[in-house]
Chains A and B, each alone.
Chain A
Amino acid sequence: NAGVTQTPKFQVLKTGQSMTLQCAQDMNHEYMSWYRQDPGMGLRLIHYSVGAGITDQGEVPNGYNVSRSTTEDFPLRLLSAAPSQTSVYFCASSSSADTQYFGPGTRLTVL
Chain B
Amino acid sequence: QQQVKQSPQSLIVQKGGISIINCAYENTAFDYFPWYQQFPGKGPALLIAIRPDVSEKKEGRFTISFNKSAKQFSLHIMDSQPGDSATYFCAPLTTGTASKLTFGTGTRLQVTL
Residues in chain A within 8 A of chain B (CB atoms): 4, 31-33, 35, 40-45, 48-50, 58-59, 90, 92, 94, 96-105
Contact = CB atoms under 8 A, between A and B. Distances in A.
Interface string B10-33: 000000000000000000000010
State the majority secondary structure of interface residues on A. strand
B63 to A, nearest CB: 19
Interface residues of B, number: 24
A48 B99 contact: yes
Given A31-B98, A98-B34, A105-B42, 13 more contacts: A4-B43, A33-B99, A40-B105, A41-B105, A42-B106, A43-B89, A49-B99, A58-B100, A92-B43, A98-B95, A100-B99, A101-B45, A105-B43
Interface string B91-108: 001011011111111100
A104 B42 CA distance: 5
A99 B44 contact: no
Contacts of B41: 104-105
A35 B36 CA distance: 14
Contacts of A4: 43
7 contacts: A42-B6, A42-B89, A42-B104, A43-B44, A43-B103, A50-B99, A105-B42
Contact of B43 (A42, A59, A90, A97): A90
A97 B98 contact: yes
A4 B27 CA distance: 29
Contacts of B43: 4, 90, 92, 102-105
